[in-house]
Structure formats: structure tokens, C-alpha cells
Structure 1
Amino acid sequence: MSDIALPAALRPTAPRRSLPPLVLFAIAWLTLVLGIAVLADAVAPYAYTALDLRNRLSPPILFGGTWLHPLGTDELGRDVLSRLIFSIRMSLLIAFGATLVGALIGTSLGFLAAHFRGLVEQMVLALVDFSASLPFLILALAVLAFFGNSLPLFVALLGLHAWERYARIARGLAISASTQGYAAAVRQLGATPRRLYLRHVLPNIASTLIVSMTLAFPEIILLESGLSFLGLGVQPPATSLGSMVGYGREYLTRAPWILLSPAVVIVLTTFSVSMLGDWLRDRLDPTLR
């Protein structure tokens, strides 16, 4: 008996998986924030250091202010919206740079441990355990107080946060890949270790590393905000989200809008990155399928 061809409208179709609403919100918010960071010079109405002493502590438009300063001004008459835009750029630049530094250090050490094994692996694992047991905030305070503060040092210091996660992941996945057929075949063909790990092993574990980066990214934003809040992060005249919150705490009762805007951006950005990272982990991690 021959099969009866059903019309296309009656054929069973696989269910479409739509993105959860929170993931859609996270993607939209991160797209907006990244766009603001890239186009900060074009979208900011004023320079972030421009003073307007006649409008000191002017309230936002929702609290009786004027459209001249929609989010109000600070104690020196600087436009809060303009400072917020440039603070988003600075905070994201620091977070991206520190995340890449940590991923590079951790992945490189993980590959070294997986390749050499023996004493090298024990040294890397001992360094990983030492880094994981050391309170990072205390280390950051000591380094910044002793060596002073500069933007490259600050980014490199934040890059040391959570590098041990990448080292553990890279080591475990590289050891697992070395026992699989494709790694052994490439090695027998005479590929150098650098080519083996960079061209064959790294692309196969990149999804797991990317998920780890999205989970560490909000932690770095919070660390940058905390250190800048304490006065050890971004130094004036530069500005960041954490430094805006730090300067606004002295005017919390008189002008709360100075710190509310950057605080809301910090909360929404960290929430969005965490939500997107959790969703990517569920989609890309084969152990959770």
C-alpha cells in the first residue's frame, strides 16, 4: 500500500522554540548599551566634563527639571545623562578587556597543564587553588594601594579575577579531547602542539569558554563598580558607573538622581548578561541536554 501524500498544511512540523521574554529583554538591553558605548561621542548632548554652574543639582525632567538636562545635573552642574553615556563606555571597555585577559591567561595555563602533565600540571593546579582561595577584593586593594592606579593596571588586575575557572575548563576539556580520535589523528599527522590546541581543540571547546565568559562578565562589572565606588578604580576626570555612584552618595538625600541612574544601569546590565549567559549555557552545554 503506497503512502498517501498529505498537504503541506497538514504535515506535522517540529515545534518552534521561541526565546523567553527575559532573554529577549536581555538581548535588547545589551544591544542598546553596546550601541550607546560605541556611539557615545555622537549621542551625548554634552562633554562629560562640561560645567553648568547655574544649574547645579538640577532635578531630572520627571521631578520638575528641564529638557536641557533630562536626567538632571550633579554638584558641579555636569549633565548626568552625558556622564552616564560615557560611564557606560568606560565600564564596558574595562569589563570586556578584563574578561578577555582572564580568559587568555586561564585558557593558556589550562592548555599547558593538559599538554605537559606531571610537574607542570601540579604547579598550575596549585596556582589555581591558591587563586581561588585568596579573597580577590583584598588583593585588588593591596595592589592598587601599593602600585598606584592606572587604567591598564586596573584592567589587568580585574583580568586576574576568575581566571582559574577558564584554566580548569580548558585543562579538563583539552585532556578529554586528547583521548578522542580527531586529536590523536592530528597529532599523528605531525601537527605542532600550538596548531593542535589553537586550530582543533580550542574551536571545539569555545562554546563552553564563551558561556563562562558571559557568567564572569557581570562579576567584573560589579568589581569595577565597587572599586570605583571606594575611589580605587577609574580616576577623574574619567568617569565610570561605579565612580558616579561613589560621587553621588554624598548627595543621596538632596540629589538622589546622581547615583540612581548609574545604579539602575549596573543592575540591568549585570542581570541581562547573567540571563543571557544562563540561556547560552542551557543551549550550548551538551551535558544539560
Structure 2
Amino acid sequence: MTETSSAPASAPVSASVFTPKSRVRAFFEAWPPLILLALAWIAAMLLLAAFGDLVAPADYMAMDLRARLAPPVGMGGDWAHPLGTDELGRDVLSRLIASIRISLTIAFLATLVSAVLGVSLGFLAAYFRGKAEQAILMLVDAQAAMPFMIIALAVLAFLGNSLTLFTLLMGFYGWERIARIARGLAIAAQEQGYASAARDLGASPWRVYGRHILPNIASTLLVSMTLNFPEVILLESGLSFLGLGVQPPETSLGAMVGYGRDYIQSAPWIMLAPSAAIVLTTLCISLIGDWLRDILDPTLS
């Protein structure tokens, strides 16, 4: 009599991993709701900066003294001026859109200038070493030791002000931090195999740094730039609030806050709208920068 043995039945494959609930959970783990809100706000700001003229209810420089200090909707105003008007009857919403465009443009260009200057000096210090490196590090230390607000006030007071000069001046903010990061990462990358292999194959220093080292450290530099971007917005707002930033007839978020400080009791909406835009924009960019650091920095894994 022979015994027949049957193979044990295989355990059923759980399908819970592929359920819609697990997919939603995985999505929100990769994209936290707070980051999604921050990205949505920044996308809205970029759309307003690019296509604001299509949604602005009026020209941001048009004056209507008959509608002077009209309140916004919800405070007794009408939809002709959803956010009210300022002391000259100019539509606050239209000026807010124009201010967002100018402030974001200045912050973007200034951050780009700061990144190019910092990365270039950092790479030069890592390549030449010796006295050239010491000279660059002394320049970095000198920049870090001096309050940039005092430097900006002195430059604008002696050289006057224009939008181009102001943007270039903002570009000198924060470059020393990027230079330190670029120098340290470049020195570490030179000791790794891919940079040494490129040099042994006869690649020029421009090719080694531009085609091999820079792409491998770009993620860390990108995070540093996202952290520098909101600081430039705040610095521009502070200088414009003091009257040394963007000059009339142009406007910016800081300039709007400066104009509205004299009417903070009688017409607080003049400065509340740009103030909220400054706070939310800088907060969202900072959150995105921290999130990118957590994702791209392998030492935090």
C-alpha cells in the first residue's frame, strides 16, 4: 500500500499591497500634504507672475481718487476691488500681482547670481588650493562677518538705485555659504574614482568640474539655493520697506507694506495682503527646501 503525499498548498498572495488605500497611503508618504500645499502655493505664485496681467482687474498704476481707501470684499467693499484700494485709489489686487512678479523675479535672478558666484569661487578654491584658496576663504569670512543689510544700505545710498543695480546687489547675498559648500564637496569629489578617472583620461579641469563634479553635487547646491531664495525675498522686502529697494512707479511686496504702514489703523488691508504673501511664500519655499534636503541628502536616510 503506497501513501500519496500531497504538497502543501501555497499561501495565498496578499492583495492588500495593491489596494487603493495602500496606493493613497504610499502617495502621501512620498508627497506629504503640507508639501503638496506648499507646491500648490508656489505654483500659484509663478502663474500669477507669468500671467498676472490676464487676471488683474485693473492697471496697477491706475489711480481713482473717488475710490480712495475702498474696503475689500467682506469688509463692506464690492467685487470691483476685491482686496480694496490704497491711498491713491489704486487696486490692491492688481498691485499685489505686479508686486509678486517683481519680487519673485528679483529673488530668482539674485539667487542665480549668488549660486554662480559661490560655485565658481568654491571650485577655484578647491582646484588651486594654497594661497588662492586662502584668499578666497578670507573673502568668504569677510563677507560672513559683515551684516549684509548695512552693506546694502551703504551701496544704495552712495550709488543710487535702479532695478538692475538692486538685483545685482541682492545677488551678493548668501554666496559665501554656497562657496563653502561647493569647495567642500569639490574637494571630496576629487578624491573619488570618477573624478580621478576623468583626469587620467586627459579631461581638462573645465570638463572635470563642469561635466563630472558639478552634476554629482548639484542636489546639495539646489537645496542650498532653495534656502537662500526666501532670505532674498525677506531682504528685498526689508529694503523696499525702508524706501531703498524698488522705486516708484514700480512696486514690490516690501514697497506695498511700506506704503501701507501709515494706514495700518484706517486701512489695514493695504499692507495685510502683501504681508501675507511674503509670509506664505517664504514659508512654503523653506518647507520645500527642507523636504528636498531630506530626500536628496543620503546621510539623512
Query: Shorter-chain TM-score: what band?
Result: over 0.9
Q: 1:77 aligns to what?
A: 89
Q: 2:264 aligns to what?
A: 252
Q: Secondary structure at the match of 2:233?
A: helix
- The structure 2 residue matched to 1:207, chosen from 219, 222, 226, is 219
Q: Percent identity?
A: 65
* Separation in 2, partners of 1:176, 1:18: 30
Gaps of at least 5 residues in structure 1 are none
* Separation in 1, partners of 2:16, 2:156: 67
Q: 2:3 aligns to what?
A: none
Q: State the aligned residue count.
A: 289
Per-residue deviation, residues 148-203 of structure 1 (Å, max 9, x unmatched): 00111111111111101110111001011100000000011111111111111100
* Separation in 1, partners of 2:17, 2:157: 69
**Superposed displacement of residue 221, structure 1:** 0.3
Cα distance change on mapping 1:11 and 1:153 into 2, 3 Å: closer
Q: 2:13 aligns to what?
A: 7
Amino acid at match of 1:194: W
Q: Secondary structure at the match of 1:71?
A: coil
* Separation in 2, partners of 1:238, 1:283: 39
- The structure 1 residue matched to 2:79, chosen from 42, 45, 67, is 67
For residues 87-102 of structure 1, what are the structure 2 equivalents within 5 Å?
87-102=99-114
Cα distance change on mapping 1:119 and 1:236 into 2, 3 Å: same
**Superposed displacement of residue 43, structure 1:** 1.4
Q: Secondary structure at the match of 2:74?
A: helix
**Superposed displacement of residue 130, structure 1:** 0.5
Gaps of at least 5 residues in structure 2 are 1-6
Cα distance change on mapping 1:3 and 1:227 into 2, 3 Å: farther
- The structure 1 residue matched to 2:47, chosen from 30, 35, 41, is 35
Per-residue deviation, residues 79-138 of structure 1 (Å, max 9, x unmatched): 000000000000000000000000000000000000010011001111111000001000
Cα distance change on mapping 1:11 and 1:39 into 2, 3 Å: closer
Please state if 1:153 is matched with 2:165: yes
Cα distance change on mapping 1:149 and 1:10 into 2, 3 Å: closer
Cα distance change on mapping 1:200 and 1:259 into 2, 3 Å: same
* Separation in 2, partners of 1:87, 1:70: 16
* Separation in 2, partners of 1:135, 1:85: 31
Q: TM-score, structure 2 length as denominator? A: 0.92
* Separation in 1, partners of 2:152, 2:167: 11
Q: 1:272 aligns to what?
A: 284
**Superposed displacement of residue 77, structure 1:** 0.4
**Superposed displacement of residue 19, structure 1:** 2.1
For residues 160-239 of structure 1, what are the structure 2 equivalents within 5 Å?
160-239=172-251
* Separation in 2, partners of 1:18, 1:183: 33
Larger Rg: 2
